[in-house]
Amino acid sequence: MKTIGYIIQKEFRQIFRNKGMLPVIFILPILQLVILSNAATFEVKNIKFSYIDRDHSALSRELIEKFSASDYFDIITDFPSQSVASSAMLKGEVDVILEIPQHFERDLRREQRANLGVTINAIDGASAGIENVYISQIIQGFNKNIKMEMMLQGQPGNALKNIETIPLFWYNETLNYKTFMVPGILVLLVTMITLFLSGMNIVREKEIGTLEQINVTPIKKSQFILGKLFPFWVIGLGLLTIGLVIAKLIFDVPMLGSLGLMYLYTSIYILVILGFGLFISNFTDTQQQAMFISWFFIVIFILMSGLFTPIESMPEWAQRITDLNPIKYFVEVMRMVMLKGSSFADIMPQFLKTLVFAFAMNGLAVWSYKKTT
């Protein structure tokens, strides 16, 4: 125990003596959490909206005002013809073109139907799909208002045949995307910092030649590894604490579940990442190699974790691979505990799988570490 304590004290002294390391560990993650939580969003806003009004009626102006009142659309201009509008979309000046045909109001009142043309820039298919949903919602709301107006005026209408759906949003009533993203970004930061620090730590010992000096001492492999990784385990929990404080104070993310449960799971998860970082360091000779290999795996793990894209949308084979991704379980647990208030029984499957990963990865790391000169 004295040997382990000595190694731990030595590592903490090296970390806090290195003035350039402290901002990397604490300041940069805070900035990343604040910036990424605002930037990493699938909400589509400030859509450049334009229209071609061939009817110039009261109803056509009312429809355009519906788009103008929306928070998602910025009305750029109106166009006299489809060719001019298409040229503007080609140049990237507009994203959506709404074409209102002649006799729009007449057809709507007489025949209770009218056609609208909508052209959407679909280079980004995901954004185009979201924009189409926004447009459909506004037109449906407009259509409903017209039907009610016609019925009040005694005109034939079929508004009573509509079935109105009243949505009830659980766990994120305001549909604030930051509420969904902040727990995931926090997972990303804890993972990246602990992986890079642990992966480069032992490699640094190789580069400066102190690892050979340690290897010739009677220190056991398990004592050396435990002493080297424990400080980064503490740092990982410290990053979690800082992130939770920022999530509450700046983004007002609800924390319905137990903080103790989050710390318990995170303490196991960090062991997985530290073991993985040590495993990488055992097969690399320079810090650059360790960083590149760590970055290679971390990108794959993040993209297949469900942090930015739903796992259910992935191909079947990719969904099977994600079962071996520990980041996937951390993202799920953080969102479940913070936003749903899940209990230990609810996260038991993720907890057990992460525990297995921790034993397996650290076992491989200790086995692959050769205490030879």
| Number of other residues whose CB lies within 10 A of the CB of residue 125 | 8
* Tokens of residue 119, six digits: 């052209």
| Helices 177-208 and 259-281, packing angle to 10 deg | 40
Number of H helices, E strands in the chain: 15, 4
The pLDDT of residue 214: 63
Per-residue pLDDT tens digits for 254-299: 888 899 999 999 999 999 999 998 888 888 888 888 888 888 888 8
Average the pLDDT over each of 77-86, 179-188, 196-205, 253-262 and give the range with the smallest value.
Answer: 196-205
Q: Does the structure show a pLDDT above 80 at 373? A: no
Average the pLDDT over each of 66-80, 198-212, 228-242 and give the range with the smallest value.
Answer: 198-212
Q: Please tell me the distance from the alpha carbon of residue 203 to that of residue 140, in angstroms, as a whole number.
A: 61
Q: Please tell me the distance from the alpha carbon of residue 15 to that of residue 230, in angstroms, as a whole number.
A: 12
The pLDDT of residue 12: 60
Task: Tell me the pLDDT band of 213, cut-offs 50, 70 and 90.
Answer: low
pTM of the predicted model, to two decimals? 0.75
Q: Does the structure show a pLDDT above 80 at 344? A: yes
Name all domains of the chain by residue range, CATH numbers in brackets: 2-40+174-368 (no CATH), 47-161 (3.40.1710.10)
Per-residue pLDDT tens digits for 98-114: 998 888 888 887 777 78
Task: Tell me the pLDDT band of 163, cut-offs 50, 70 and 90.
Answer: very low
Task: Tell me the pLDDT band of 18, cut-offs 50, 70 and 90.
Answer: low
Q: Please tell me the distance from the alpha carbon of residue 247 to that of residue 128, in angstroms, as a whole number.
A: 30
CB neighbours of 67 closer than 8 A, spacing ≥ 6?
A: 49, 51, 73, 75, 98, 138
Q: Look up tokens 């954004």; give the residue.
A: 127
The pLDDT of residue 34: 73
The pLDDT of residue 329: 94
Average the pLDDT over each of 22-31, 41-50, 337-346 and give the range with the smallest value.
Answer: 22-31
Q: Does the structure show a pLDDT above 70 at 242? A: yes
Q: Does the structure show a pLDDT above 70 at 8? A: no
Comparison of pLDDT for 357 and 22, the residue scoring more = 357
Determine the average pLDDT of the residues in 131-147.
85
| C-alpha torsion sign, points 219, 224, 227, 228 | positive
- 96: which strand partners? 49, 120
Three-state DSSP class for residue 73: strand
Degrees to nearest 5, angle at CA 248 with 245 and 254: 135
- 51: which strand partners? 78, 98
Q: Please tell me the distance from the alpha carbon of residue 102 to that of residue 159, in angstroms, as a whole number.
A: 24
